[in-house]
Amino acid sequence: MENSILIYNTLSRKKEEFVPYNPPFVGLYVCGPTVYGDAHLGHARAAISFDLVFRYLTAVGYKVRYVRNITDVGHLENDADEGEDKIAKKARLEQLEPMEVVQYYTDRYHSNMDQLNVRKPSIEPRASGHIIEQIELVKKILAEGFAYESNGSIYFDVAKYNESHHYGELSGRVLEDMLSNTRALDGQDEKKNSFDFALWKQAQPEHIMRWPSPWGDGFPGWHMECSAMSCKYLGEQFDIHGGGMDLMFPHHEAEIAQSVVANGRQPVHYWMHNNMITIGGQKMGKSLGNFITLDEFFSGNHDRLERAYSPMTIRFFILQAHYRSTLDFSNEALQAAEKGFHRLLAANETLKKLKPSDVSSVDIAAITKGCYDAMNDDFNSPQVIATLFEGVRVINQIHDGKETISAADLVLLNETFNIFVVDVLGLLDEVTAGGQDSKVNGLMELILQIRQNARTTKDWGTSDLIRDELKSLSIQVKDTKEGPVWSVED
């Protein structure tokens, strides 16, 4: 690859040059959703941030195997392995089989991702489909002496691990500080230390999502699936692991500890974390009452929304911030994003109509280079967008006859917009990209053409049939000097 890409590695806390283990192949693992509710803006941000990474690495020639999991078992309500399984709880409340809950929300997640033009991962494994791999991993960790059994559950021995490794190396935490900050154990607890995490949990009689294991019926701890599935599909050491910042601790910290014990080495070369979305500076959450799902954004059906926002507006809004910056939601910010997005698309249309001159008075190569430089600097999408707007200014000036562009530069500018607007940023014109409106427009044009042909050949039967049938559908056709125009009557 001629591109030298810098990635901010959460593990080393600095930008590092991206050198894959086995170029041109790249292994990319991203923690996907726990499917017990509708996707919200936070889900969109994680998915779009790593979609951008996936798209750019692909665009510059890497062959990326992108694994994004579906958590459908083992994610309890509380980070301390307490409370009910989130999916089992939803199933109980809605009187459904847990896998019905999983299917329902997985389908809805997929449809939201399609709307946002997020590319499908290469592999989308489910935790419940990899119980055997997770049990094998628990066995390995037990055999290495870094886990213990307690009442049919298996816990990772964090204090023991920390004697020879640094538990907290990713999140920058220090175990001694964590010790003094955690509540004292009441003696009822099965764990040696409150920060020990479950590798396997014994299922209580009422727990329906359960599998047999050497330690009795139970289910895997949440952190296990990502260690087991990333290793299965990407190997013991792979290039990039991504996820939201909220997953850094304990989820990713635990993943590292599990894999280091099982395989004797660091599993991941580059750890990437996207920042959170806030609403009025506050974290988004169900309990805070400021929780807006993607469907609510698309329909405008929420108290905090002044109106509906299209999926591409949401996508553009997210890409306008760097993935490591916080992003604050407001109606004003979304409306500004929508305006910017439309300006970019309008210029993209104008670009297709530009005519070349003998010489260029503009520097197109600088715009192209600016886009690559921005992406090579830790996937800086706001900088790419700023550079594309430099292109928008140039396009409009050429269109107004104030600047000129050569044929070769026009090809380069078209190419640059195609690569960065469409392929890398994944922005689509919602109307021409196959929205219902454009299909109806196309069909009406066809029908009116047939009617016109019939009139020309004095085939009044066909022409009257079309007029009457359209009328019965409340579609009115008027003949004007410019040709027939149609409208829908109220």
Based on CB atoms, which residue is closest to Zn ion, 31 or 234?
31
SS3 state of residue 359: coil
Q: Report how far residue 252's alpha carbon sits from residue 229's, in angstroms, rounded to the nearest whole number.
A: 14
Q: Report how far residue 122's alpha carbon sits from residue 44's, in angstroms, rounded to the nearest whole number.
A: 18
Based on CB atoms, which residue is closest to Zn ion, 28 or 226?
226
Based on CB atoms, which residue is closest to Zn ion, 226 or 344?
226
Based on CB atoms, which residue is closest to Zn ion, 49 or 348?
49
Based on CB atoms, which residue is closest to Zn ion, 43 or 315?
43
Amino acid at 249: F
Based on CB atoms, which residue is closest to Zn ion, 249 or 298?
249
Tokens 């001629």 sit on residue: 2
> Could you give the angle at which helices 86-94 and 98-115 cross, rounded to 10 degrees?
110
Closest contact distance (angstroms) between CB of 251 and Zn ion is 6
Specify which residues 357 forms β-bridges with: 406
Closest contact distance (angstroms) between CB of 280 and Zn ion is 29
Based on CB atoms, which residue is closest to Zn ion, 31 or 228?
31
Based on CB atoms, which residue is closest to Zn ion, 226 or 419?
226
Closest contact distance (angstroms) between CB of 279 and Zn ion is 25
Helix (H) / strand (E) element for 150: namely: strand 147-150
Closest contact distance (angstroms) between CB of 133 and Zn ion is 14
Based on CB atoms, which residue is closest to Zn ion, 225 or 409?
225
Cα 173 to the chain's mean position, in Å? 27
Q: Report how far residue 35's alpha carbon sits from residue 51's, in angstroms, rounded to the nearest whole number.
A: 19
Closest contact distance (angstroms) between CB of 475 and Zn ion is 52
SS3 state of residue 304: coil
Closest contact distance (angstroms) between CB of 15 and Zn ion is 24
Closest contact distance (angstroms) between CB of 427 and Zn ion is 28
Closest contact distance (angstroms) between CB of 231 and Zn ion is 12
Per the CB < 8 A criterion, the answer to whether 341 and 348 are in contact is no
Q: Report how far residue 141's alpha carbon sits from residue 260's, in angstroms, rounded to the nearest whole number.
A: 9
Based on CB atoms, which residue is closest to Zn ion, 10 or 313?
10
SS3 state of residue 243: strand
Q: What is the 3-state secondary structure (H, E, C) of 252-285?
A: HHHHHHHHHHHHCCCCEEEEEEECCEEECCEECC
Based on CB atoms, which residue is closest to Zn ion, 160 or 251?
251
Where do contacts with Zn ion occur on this chain (CB under 5 A)?
A: 31, 226
Letter string b/e over residues 363-376, b meaning 16 or more CB atoms within 10 A of that residue's CB = ebeebbebbbebbb
Closest contact distance (angstroms) between CB of 415 and Zn ion is 37
The DSSP line for 430-480 is: TTTTT-HHHHHHHHHHHHHHHHHHHHHTT-HHHHHHHHHHHHHTTEEEEEE
Structure tokens at 141: 């960790």
Number of H helices and E strands in the chain, helices first, is 16, 15
Based on CB atoms, which residue is closest to Zn ion, 259 or 313?
259
Closest contact distance (angstroms) between CB of 430 and Zn ion is 32
Closest contact distance (angstroms) between CB of 241 and Zn ion is 8
403: alpha, beta or left? (left if phi > 0; alpha if psi -120 to 50)? beta
- Shortest CA distance to 471 belongs to which of 486, 481, 461? 486
Q: Report how far residue 176's alpha carbon sits from residue 267's, in angstroms, rounded to the nearest whole number.
A: 25
Closest contact distance (angstroms) between CB of 86 and Zn ion is 14
Q: What is the 3-state secondary structure (H, E, C) of 34-69?
A: ECCCCCEHHHHHHHHHHHHHHHHHHHCCCEEEEEEC
DSSP 484: E
